[in-house]
Chains A and B, each alone.
Chain A
């Protein structure tokens, strides 16, 4: 028996029952489409978070006071949160090889007022290096200088959101004086807009000022709430962390074996963590979708099984005119493979379309991975063979005499 004829026979049988074939296919279509879409959503959000972090600076390093909360767990006293001092900043600034930039961070959130307008935002006390570290840039005016740091000048650089809120009529904000906590800050620059990041955070909702100004005039503290730094390159994050860690231990006079009273995290490390979380999520979404593919496969088995019973006489006739058991087996297998592969093809198109629609309509980044398409096809063919096998085998083993007499 040649395979071309078997295909013709199987196609003919399917076209005799188009509606049923389509309904059976629907299970596979939905299964494959959801696998493709889920994986596309998973991969898409992973990519966009990665991009976002890359934009923020993948070589960024964050230094926080206090022992590592993740490891310690216990609540820490107020004094343990004041371990980072100005000397630490100066050490990092002057004594490292793998750190290209460093800035203290002291933040305060509150209301900003200009004339009758006011808006809530956060003021970040930083050094000029902060721009480089966070990949920010000045759109208009200029950044404050080392001079302003030393003098603790009441100057600031504002983000676009703050500008829009305080100057709704489009006035030039440069040179204007806004108030925060009754302290007047004169605006010397405006940040270039960065828009929202993938986690929905407005990156333009910020005000930058010299950290000394915030320390003295706003918070009245002498310690630093934290520091941000940049490794010379992303690959050197590890070395940079080690360097900083050694410096801080030395400055804090920590004996060997004593736990750090600060903790350092790099973006690279966060990226790995986020990636693994996203991978888990993708796997989860994918397996839920995979289950629907399985259900689709069982649908094929179900229909093929009914079909064999319903077509017992046809099978008997085919055998009586010379079809061998293996011809019958092949016919039913080809039928189920045709259903599953066609379903898979439609499912891939459907899933791809759905992903595109999600991107267009919901603004969600999706990315259809080529391997997920190939995988779907392999799985579909396998599904067809696997779930078609049992009914086909049953058909092939029918006794021709019983089959042809079957009522």
Chain B
């Protein structure tokens, strides 16, 4: 599989000595301590670690939702730390695609309307361009036949696909997923994983936070956090195929 990988030498993400402290009462929680690493374009990175190890905090930092207490963060060559709220919002809109554990689709809203949402906040898209991009994106996640289904008319797996389509629609520099398979059963999780692997093959940069050690086998790199520190950062030489794993899954009980 890795043969098709279009990984390049372009650095998408560079973290230098990132720390993030939360002050709660008169105690300081060190959520991230001195975290440094770089991610190249086209990598599929899983971030693992026990609960409270700082994974979500790291992902929020990478997603420009949170600012580090100290350290430098370069996204696509731009320093994020000094940016104001509004420019970070624009950066999220243009360069980042988020996938959440609980999908976070708008209720009573069709797949296509959910997917076009990021483009609504980008004035350079006309409404027809928006529509076309959203359709393309939904087709890419295999929901070409569900364009006008509302979020409450879809299964969990389908909702997560819509969320992934939404994360893809603005051609982000990096896709960030926090426990994206956490709410799904094994089979559906693998289906989502197949999708992520395909996006990886197409050259997307993906950062995937998970509890599940299995998933690390399907990514190209695995970063291990403990108490806010990177304790392990290994490249995975033998990326397993999720498609095969899915085929080998025991047939559903029902």
- A residues whose Cβ falls under 8 Å from a Cβ of B: 1-2, 5, 8-9, 12, 16, 313-314, 316-327, 400-401, 404
Contact across chains for A8 and B85 when beta carbons are under 8 A apart: no
Contact across chains for A404 and B89 when beta carbons are under 8 A apart: no
Nearest-neighbor residue (CB-CB) of A326 within chain B: B86
Known A322-B93, A325-B85: A8·B120 in contact at CB below 8 Å: yes
Provide 5 A-B residue pairs closer than 8 Å at the C-beta atoms, listed in order of the A residue. A319-B89, A320-B92, A322-B89, A322-B90, A324-B121
Contact across chains for B123 and A324 when beta carbons are under 8 A apart: no
B148 at the interface (CB under 8 A from A): no
CA distance A8 to B131 in the complex (A): 14
- Residues in B with CB closer than 8 Å to A323 are 89, 93, 121
Tell which of B106, B107, B118, B123 has the most Cβ of chain A within 10 Å.
B106
8 further A-B contacts with Cβ under 8 Å, apart from A322-B122, A323-B121, are: A5-B120, A16-B107, A316-B104, A319-B65, A321-B118, A322-B118, A322-B121, A404-B104
Q: How far does the Cβ of B40 sit from chain A's closest Cβ, in whole Å?
A: 24
Q: Is the interface of A mostly helix, strand, loop or mixed?
A: helix
- Interface size grouping (class) on chain B: 20 to 34
- Residues in B with CB closer than 8 Å to A317 are 100, 104, 106
- Residues in A with CB closer than 8 Å to B65 are 319-320, 400-401
CA distance A313 to B151 in the complex (A): 15
Contact across chains for A325 and B100 when beta carbons are under 8 A apart: no
B166 at the interface (CB under 8 A from A): yes
B63 at the interface (CB under 8 A from A): yes
Nearest-neighbor residue (CB-CB) of A3 within chain B: B123
CA distance A5 to B123 in the complex (A): 9
- Residues in A with CB closer than 8 Å to B122 are 322
Contact across chains for A314 and B106 when beta carbons are under 8 A apart: yes
Q: Name the contact of A313 in the complex, choosing from B92, B104, B108, B118 (C-beta under 8 A).
A: B104
Contact across chains for B123 and A2 when beta carbons are under 8 A apart: yes
CA distance A313 to B100 in the complex (A): 12
B75-108 contacts to A (CB < 8 Å): 85-86, 89-90, 92-94, 98, 100, 104, 106-108
Q: How far does the Cβ of A394 sit from chain B's closest Cβ, in whole Å?
A: 16
Q: How far does the Cβ of A316 sit from chain B's closest Cβ, in whole Å?
A: 8
Q: Name the contact of A321 in the complex, choosing from B85, B92, B113, B123 (C-beta under 8 A).
A: B92
CA distance A16 to B113 in the complex (A): 13
Contact across chains for A321 and B109 when beta carbons are under 8 A apart: no
Known A313-B104, A319-B89, A320-B65: A327·B113 in contact at CB below 8 Å: no
CA distance A316 to B94 in the complex (A): 17
Known A5-B120, A313-B104, A317-B104: A324·B85 in contact at CB below 8 Å: yes
- Residues in B with CB closer than 8 Å to A327 are 121
